[in-house]
Structure 1
Amino acid sequence: MPYTYIVQCVDSTYYTGWTTNLETRLAAHNSGSGARYTRGRLPVALVYYEYYATESLARKREYAIKRLSRKTKEEMVKAFTNKQE
C-alpha cells in the first residue's frame, strides 16, 4: 500500500517521503539507514500519513507536500493528530 508520510525529527524539522510499508520505513529512518536528511536528526516520529491507490499518486503528493510552507505542514499535522485521537 503506497503512503505519503511526514516524520518529525528530533530538531523539530519535518521530513516528507513516500513508501509502501510505513513500519519498515520508520524503522529504517530511526536506524540511520533512511534518508540522508534524517540520519543526523534521530530519532524521528511519524506525525502524518495518507494512503494512495498507486505509487505514482503517493509520489506526486510527496512532491506537493514538500512545496508547502512549514506553517501549512504544522496545520496538517495538527488536524491529523486531532483526527486520530
Structure 2
Amino acid sequence: MPWFLYLIECADGSIYTGIATDVDARFDKHVNGTGARYTRSRKPLRVLASFALADRSSALRAEYRVKQLTATEKRALAAGTRTLESVLPTPAPEETDATSASDKV
C-alpha cells in the first residue's frame, strides 16, 4: 500500500506537512479538528499537493526533510517548480558484486 506525503495550506498562510495512506480522509480529520494539534489552531484550507511514496518509512524520511523547508520552499514543491527528489538526500551508491566479493576474502 502506498503512503503519501501531503501539504496543507492553512488560513494563517502556513503550510502543514504530513503523511497518510488516504490523503482525503486525513484532510477531513484536519478540517473537523481531530487531525494534528497544529491544524486545530489554524484552519486548514486545502491540500496543496501530495506525493506517493513506496512505504511508510520512505514517507517518514520525506516528511522530515520537507518539514525543514520554509513555507516558500514548500509552495515551490507544491507548484512543481521544485521536485521532491531535490529535497531528499541522494542514496548511497550500492556496492557492486566485484567489490563485495573482494571484501569477503
Range into which the TM-score falls when normalised by the shorter chain = 0.7 to 0.9
Which of structure 1's runs of 4+ aligned residues deviate more than 3 A? none
* Number of residue equivalences: 80
TM-score, length-normalised on structure 2? 0.71
Aligned to 1:44, the other structure's residue is in SS state strand
RMSD: 1.3
| TM-score for both structures, normalised by structure 1 | 0.86
SS in 1 for 2:16: strand
Amino acid at match of 1:78: A
Q: Distance in 1 between matches of 2:5 and 2:75?
A: 16
Q: Which residues of structure 1 form unaligned runs of 5+?
A: 81-85
Q: Aligned residues: percent identity?
A: 32
Q: Which has the higher helix share?
A: 1
Deviations 1:34-60 (A, max 9, x none): 000000111331001100111100110
1:12 is matched with 13
1: CA distance, partners of 2:50 / 2:63: 10
The structure with the larger Rg is 2
Q: Which runs of 5+ in 2 are unaligned?
A: 82-105
Match of 1:71 in 2: 72
Work out the CA distance in 1 between the residues paired with 2:79 and 2:3: 22
